[in-house]
Amino acid sequence: MKLWTPILLSGLVVPLYAQGFSLHGFVEVASGLRVVEDSTQPKDLVLGEGRVQLELYQEWEGGPRLFLKTDFLGDVADEAVKVDLREGYVDYSPLPNLDLRVGRQIITWGTGDFLFINDVFPKDYISFFIGRQPQYLKLASDALKASLFVGAVSVDLVAIPFFTADTVLTGERLSFYDGLTNQIVGKDASIVLTKPARTPANTEWALRLLRQFGSYEVALYGFKGFFHSPLGVRDSPRRELFYPELAVYGGSVRGPVLEGIAYLELGYYDSLEDRAGGNPFVENSSMKYLVGYERQAWSDFTLGLQYFVEQMLHFDRFTTSQPPGAPSRDEFRHLLTLRLTQLLRYQTVELSLFVFFSPSDQDYYLRPTVAYKITDQLTGVLGANLFGGAKQSTAFGQLEANDNVYLRLTYGF
């Protein structure tokens, strides 16, 4: 994958500045430091990088369009230079009502704000926790997407033959709770992640049907593939985790309510390798519920609230199957989020706070940021990621020793 980026780019230098060509991007320096003691991590630098992103766009007579987005990264924290093809796809419409997109592409569905039920596509949680731009939370899938427009209904069908996993906590930069040993681990975690075999039968499929009824958007979703996080234990002594098979069925509604926007989303996560729920090595099936509301309380100030519930199904079988000493999990995990955004000085300054709070897990995650548009091209962002919790085994509680503060300076062109 890393080799064909320079080849593709050099091949396209030929039509440079020809009709239908554009090149944009940004240059960014970012630095983030841990502000609490973490005995499992030798380095306090959680983020240290110089990044150049290039976005190349080329369209041809007759319709096909090429889009390439590549990052060239000098990573001080990992002491490495990396080339990352973020997206690389071709768009083509063979029929007036059919759009095809082939290649590496980010796909985003669903209604949640930093909460995902029917958006089953891969995520990069590490980037999210260390202060990279929000776009890095989403990872691209190597896929073929067909969008068909039939009257007022749009149908999106995605085939993903090459599995892309979530970027999850494995101890390199951030410490986390290791369920295999019931303790916080970091750099010496040595987790082995085993991805599904690359066979045609392991192609993942995702479907969305979307229709608008007046001002209300209604969608139905389906997914058949694998968990993108390694929620299965293959070999505990070898510390090997795997990605169990998963099907997701869900729906959502979004539209205006009073002076704001309200949305509702549901999803049934069918854990295909443990439908009965008694296998302690595979995540149980669950139901996920989300209700959210966002409105502008006063000029340039937006407020968003969400209430999210994850219900583990076959909970009784789960509890009896757990080995002694395993951390307790609730049948219902409740999560509240709050987003506050205030724009100032002709929208050149943005003060923002996003809060995750779980009353059932008794943990939290705060994301305060201050962004200043120094000029039209140059933006500075100062932010923090603050974690805490009563127990070290919960989603945010485990990250307690990873509190960090970061600064990003981005020049766009």
Partner 1 sequence: MRTRNTNGLGLLWLFALLSLAIPSAEGAEKIGAEEVMKRAYLAEYYPGDDMKAKVLMRLVSGDGKERIREMTMLRKDLQEGGEQRYFIYFHRPPDVREMTFMVWKYPRRNADRWLFIPALKLVRRIAADDKRSSFVGSDFSYEDISGRGVEEDVHQLVREERLDGREVYVVESRPREARGTEFSRKLSWIDKTTFLPLKEEYYDTRGDLYKVFSADELKEIQGFWTITRRTMKNVQTGHRTEATFQEVRYNLKLSDTLFTERYLRAPPAEAVR
What is the binding site for partner 1 (CB under 8 A)? Answer: 20, 24, 26, 59, 65, 91, 99, 105-108, 133-135, 137-138, 147, 149, 154, 210, 215, 217, 254-256, 259-261, 263, 294-296, 298-300, 302, 343, 346-348, 373, 375-377, 379, 412-413
Give me the torsion for CA of 313, 314, 319, 321, rounded to 10°. -120
Residue type, 7: I
Least separation in angstroms between CB 141 and partner 1 = 11
Min dist CB 308 to partner 1, Å, is 18
| Nearest-approach distance from CB 64 to partner 1, in angstroms | 11
Angle made by CA atoms 42, 45, 49, in degrees to the nearest 5: 135
Q: Among 319, 331, 325, 391, which residue's Cα sits nearest to residue 361?
A: 391
Q: How far is the CB of 166 from partner 1 (least distance, A)?
A: 16
Q: How far is CA 92 from the centre of its chain?
A: 26
To which H or E segment does residue 157 belong?
strand 153-162
Distance CA 157, CA 208 (A): 7
Query: Which is closer to partner 1, CB of 328 or CB of 375?
Result: 375
Closest to partner 1 by CB, 106 or 287? 106
Smallest distance from partner 1 to CB 88, Å: 14
Please give the C-alpha separations between residue 191 and each of 163, 233, 275, in angstroms, as whole numbers. Answer: 19, 11, 26
How many alpha carbons lie under 13 Å from residue 250 in its C-beta half-sphere? 27
Question: Are residues 219 and 209 in contact, defined by beta-carbon separation less than 8 angstroms?
Answer: yes
Nearest to 371 by CA among 321, 336, 406: 406
Query: Alpha carbon of 65 to those of 20, 21, 56, 60: distances in Å?
Result: 9, 10, 11, 6
Q: Helix, strand or coil for residue 152? A: coil
In angstroms, what is the minimal distance from the CB of 261 to partner 1? 4
Comparison of 69 and 288: residue with beta carbon closer to partner 1? 69
Pick 142 or 294: Cβ nearer partner 1: 294
Decide whether 179 or 260 has the Cβ nearer to partner 1: 260
C-beta of 343 vs 366, nearer to partner 1: 343
State which residue, 128 or 242, has the beta carbon closest to partner 1: 128
Please report how close the Cβ of residue 210 comes to partner 1 at its closest, in angstroms: 7
Smallest separation (angstroms) from partner 1 to the CB of 22: 10
